[in-house]
Amino acid sequence: MGKLVFGMMQSLDGYIAGATGGPQLPRPGDQLHRHFNDYVRELAGIIYGRRMYEVMRYWDDDQPDWDAVERDFAAAWRAKPKWVVSRTLESVGPNATLVRDDAGAFVRALKAKLDGEIDVAGPELAGGLTALGLIDEYRLYFRPFILGGGKPYFSGPRPPLRLVSAESVGEDAVRLTYAVLT
């Protein structure tokens, strides 16, 4: 059975991105980027909300200025099956499937079919899946920046959680891992 995991980098004040046009989190350093490369390589797949998928499409096409760490991430990301929950997109890119109806039923079936971790990407999608009780684990990667507002990690009510682990990751992040209390 699959395990649904929602994890993202965020500022110390709990935002994954600043308000439109506002400050953003800086690019992760090479160590933290390698951590995410390894994480993506091990996933069974990734479920995206529309906005996050549109951001991540950047990795579909090679860029001449990428370094080895970025090329490695792109290769790992491209290899993973992706499911994009959207009512507005008409199509999705390579190795991706568009999910238009009943995301909850789709995710339940996906968890039953796949073994391993399935990443949830996008706070609004994660909020909806949280409300349905489908996310098994939350990984909060805090970085030493303050955005002062913007898009929060939790887009809705926070479920009751218990701390599973806390560890330093990469150059400047602390990862807190929480499981849902049952």
Q: What is the tens place of the pLDDT at every residue in 93-132?
A: 999 999 998 999 999 999 999 999 999 999 999 999 999 9
Q: Residue 171 has which token pair?
A: 């150059």
CA-nearest of 1, 4, 7, 41 to 177 is: 7
CATH number at residue 117: 3.40.430.10
CA angle 31, 96, 180 (to 5 degrees): 60
Distance of CA 80 to CAs 76, 77, 116, 121, 149, Å? 7, 6, 13, 13, 32
Read off the amino acid at residue 113: K
How big is the chain by its Cα radius of gyration, in Å?
Answer: 16
Q: Which domain does 45 fall in, by range?
A: 2-180
Q: What is the tens place of the pLDDT at every residue in 23-51?
A: 889 999 999 999 999 999 999 999 999 99
* pLDDT tier, 143 (very low <50, low <70, confident <90, very high otherwise): very high
Read off the amino acid at residue 140: L
CA angle 120, 16, 30 (to 5 degrees): 85
Taking residues 68-73, report their average pLDDT: 97
CA-CA distance, 149 to 15, in Å (whole number)?
7
3-state SS assignment for residue 153: coil
Look at the chain and report how many structural domains it folds into. Answer: 1
Residue 22 has pLDDT above 80, yes or no: no
